[in-house]
Every structure is written in C-alpha cells, then in structure tokens.
Amino acid sequence: MTKILVVEDETAISNLIAVNLRKAGYQVTCVYDGMAAADALDEALYDLILLDVMLPRVDGYELMSYITPLEIPVIFLTAKASVSDRVKGLRLGADDYLTKPFEIIELLARVETVLRRYHKTESILTVEDLTIDTGSRTVRRGEKAINLTKKEYELLLLFVRNKNIALYRETIYERIWGGEYMGDSRTVDLHVQRMRKKIGWEQKIVTVYKVGYRLEV
C-alpha cells in the first residue's frame, strides 16, 4: 500500500486530508511539526510527503534539505500563495505546490499525478468484485472481461480513486472531458449510467441530489 506522510500543524486540516486519503486507499501518517517529520522519516519509508510550509520548530522550506537526499516526492500545502513562494518551493525540489484553501478532489488528483510520475501507483486495483489493470487498461470480474469505452474506463477510475467522495457533475466533466462545464449534465449522466450498468454497480455508484455521484464501498 502506498504510504503518505502528512506534515500539517493545523489539526482540522490534517484530519480532513488523512480521512480522504485513507478513503482513497492510501496508508497515512500525520505529524504536526518539522522535527516530528524528520523523526518519522528516520523510522519509516514513505512514497510521498504532503508538506506545509509554516510549521513549528522546523519549517517546510528548511525540512526540504533533509528530505531531498531521501528522493521522496513532495507536494507543498500552504497559504503562502505568492509567485515568489511557489518558485522557492519548486526550486527547493518540491514536485507540486497547492495553495490553501483547496478542494480535496484536486489534492487527490495531484497526489495521483505525482505518484504516477514516480511509478509509485499500484497498477492493479481491486474494488469489491472488480479488478482493474491500469497498465493494460482492462477491467475484469473474476475471469470475465468487461468491455468499456475510453470515457467509461476513465469514469470508473475517477470513481475508484475517489471512492466514498461525492463528485460534482462539474468536476466529473472537467476531469474526463477536459473542458469547461456549461451546465448540461446529460453527457455526464448518460456515460455514468451506461458505465455502472455494464459493471453492475447501479447500487454502488449512487446519485447525490443536486450534486452528482458517489461510489459507495
């Protein structure tokens, strides 16, 4: 299982991040200051670090000098939104820089992107009775292959990687079709309905009133 270290001194934010990462299938450890983060890195190996900048004892920028030799990817999470702050973080070796406040689904997408860049994502995903091979882009139930279109497959991955999280139609459209959502939900609804019928998840991918859809597992 992919292991993520969350270094964030605001408990409410740390808890929110941890809950959603665990729902998405990651193993999460939370620490609340820079010195505790250094101790955690001495004790265990991590695949990714989510790092706040303004931390007690040792700040995130200072901690980067300790992290860099370990070759662990880092995403900065911070309220410091100026261009100079972003440039500083990236020059210190961070792989991404996300400013607060942020949407959880955006954080999950960035986590997924960075892990994929470092080939640390799991190529075989098992959810309920389905097995998804992201390398071959195949979906199976037992020995039976399920044929999905490109968009249906991408929709399934989006739900699986954000399981138990309500996804807005706008978010689904922008992530799958790559354009600005213009308020017409028929494209999203039609593809979701066809996809969940093909895989037999009519009761698992539920409609969330006035929002969109959620995969409940």
Q: What is the pLDDT of residues 102-133, one digit of tens each?
A: 888 889 989 988 988 877 666 778 888 899 98
Q: Where in the chain is the domain with CATH 3.40.50.2300?
A: 3-117
Phi and psi (nearest 5°) for 95? -90, -20
Domain 124-215 top-level CATH class: mainly alpha
From residue 39, alpha-carbon distances to 44, 67, 93 in Å are 9, 11, 20
Q: Which residues contact 144 (CB under 8 A, 6 or more apart)?
A: none
Q: How buried is residue 195: exposed, middle or buried, by Cβ count under 10 Å (0-12/13-18/19+)? A: buried
Q: How many CB atoms lie within 10 A of CB 84?
A: 8
Q: What is the pLDDT of residue 100?
A: 87
In whole angstroms, what is the distance from residue 32 CA to residue 60 CA?
11
Q: Find out whether 98 and 81 touch, Cβ atoms under 8 Å.
A: no
Report the predicted TM-score, pTM, of the whole model to 2 decimal places: 0.66
Amino acid occupying residue 161: R
Domain 3-117, CATH: 3.40.50.2300
178 DSSP assignment: -
In whole angstroms, what is the distance from residue 202 CA to residue 15 CA?
31
Q: What is the pLDDT of residue 215?
A: 93
In whole angstroms, what is the distance from residue 9 CA to residue 93 CA?
21
Q: What is the pLDDT of residue 159?
A: 92
Q: What is the pLDDT of residue 186?
A: 84
Q: What is the pLDDT of residue 95?
A: 87
Q: How buried is residue 63: exposed, middle or buried, by Cβ count under 10 Å (0-12/13-18/19+)? A: buried
Q: How buried is residue 206: exposed, middle or buried, by Cβ count under 10 Å (0-12/13-18/19+)? A: middle
What is the distance, to the nearest Å, from the Cα of residue 136 to the centroid of all Cα atoms in its chain? Answer: 21
Phi and psi (nearest 5°) for 86? -65, -45
Q: What is the pLDDT of residue 10?
A: 92
In whole angstroms, what is the distance from residue 36 CA to residue 58 CA?
9
Helix (H, G, I), strand (E, B) or coil at 196: helix
Point out the residues of the chain with pLDDT beneath 50. none
Q: Where in the chain is the domain with CATH 1.10.10.10?
A: 124-215
